[in-house]
Homo-oligomer: A and B are copies of this chain.
């Protein structure tokens, strides 16, 4: 069982995850590109390091929680990266959402350098990270997954070993496909209802209770109706994940017409300067096309 756990990347997700590891009793060392982000964790007992190399050298298991595939490659194999601090028995667990092919490549290169890896992306967002209720989708070898389980249990609730290296990332991308199409369903249903002059709060409630129901209808639609477009999960990051899904689909000649369409609609949001709004602002693209806004009114039919 790993006793010393490192965290590389202390953003919206990595920061509360590091805090949960401290609470669970692990010896935690951390680093971040902007090192000031790490300071509050020092007070909680974390060791603040200057580089991923330094974190890796004093950890049994090191988590990376960064943004892009190239970020993962940089913190793992770049100058002063995890590989430079690797030692026999080090397990590097990347919990960012990146390309399944890059995850496989990282595993192969790590094996050459004498350490092991898992890909273990998460869903559940900032709130899931704070409350240690993440869903964790894992790709890699059985023994490594078993070794990492005490760490995963400190971070999440639904923890599933999906298959070999890359399978965690592939599962995360499949999840994002479902998320954005459910989100599109919310968007088009509410815009249609608004154009038909319906009471939108009632419409949402009726749809949510039946065969049109979804996590998105339960969670995004009330925010939309109240005009709250703060993230949650940002359009720019959702778009990054859709790009990964469409790249992986392209590589296997998998045709995903709805995902491709939704990706294009998110692009229009980014073009209009909305990349840092919440995922549910997808409806703004449909509203713009349709010349109608879907917001709740006080009056009802």
Q: Hey, which bits of chain A sit against chain B, CB under 8 A?
A: 100, 123-125, 135, 137, 158, 160-164, 167, 170-171, 173-182, 184-193, 195-199, 202-203, 205-207, 209-217, 219, 245, 248-249, 252-259, 261-262, 265, 286, 289-292, 300-301
Contact = CB atoms under 8 A, between A and B. Distances in A.
Given A193-B174, A212-B179, A198 B167 contact: yes
A169 B171 CA distance: 38
Q: Which of A203, A211, A261 is most buried by chain B, counting CB atoms within 10 A of its CB?
A: A211
Nearest to A133: B210
The secondary structure that dominates the A interface is helix
Contacts of A214: 178, 182, 213-216
B256 A286 contact: yes
A189 B211 contact: no
Given A188-B256, A289-B257, A158 B206 contact: yes
A128 B126 CA distance: 38
Nearest to A300: B163
18 contacts: A123-B212, A162-B206, A173-B192, A174-B189, A175-B210, A178-B186, A178-B213, A181-B258, A188-B258, A192-B245, A195-B254, A196-B248, A213-B214, A214-B215, A252-B292, A256-B286, A256-B290, A258-B262
